[in-house]
Amino acid sequence: MSPKVLVTGVTGYIGGDAFHALYEANPDFDYTLVVRNKEREELVRRKYPNTDIKIVYPGAASPAMSLADVLEEEARKADIVLHTAKSADDAVQAKAILRGLQAAGRSPEHPAYWIHVSGTGILQWYDQTHNRVGQLPLPSEKYDDIADIDRILTLLD
Q: In terms of domains, do 109 and 128 share one?
A: no
* Model confidence pLDDT, tens digit, residues 94-151: 899 999 999 988 888 889 999 988 666 667 778 888 888 778 778 787 777 788 888 8
| pTM reported for the whole predicted model | 0.77
Q: In terms of domains, do 135 and 98 share one?
A: no
The answer to whether residue 13 scores a pLDDT higher than 90 is: no
Q: Which domain holds residue 94?
A: 4-116
Q: In terms of domains, do 111 and 147 share one?
A: no
What pLDDT does residue 101 have? Answer: 94
β-pairing verdict for 80-83 and 113-116: parallel
Structural domain count, the chain = 2
Q: In terms of domains, do 80 and 29 share one?
A: yes
Domain containing 98 — which CATH number?
3.40.50.720
Q: In terms of domains, do 71 and 128 share one?
A: no
* Model confidence pLDDT, tens digit, residues 40-80: 999 999 999 989 999 999 988 788 889 999 999 999 999 99
Alpha carbon distance, N-terminus to C-terminus of the chain: 41
Q: In terms of domains, do 75 and 27 share one?
A: yes
Q: In terms of domains, do 95 and 135 share one?
A: no
What pLDDT does residue 16 have? Answer: 93
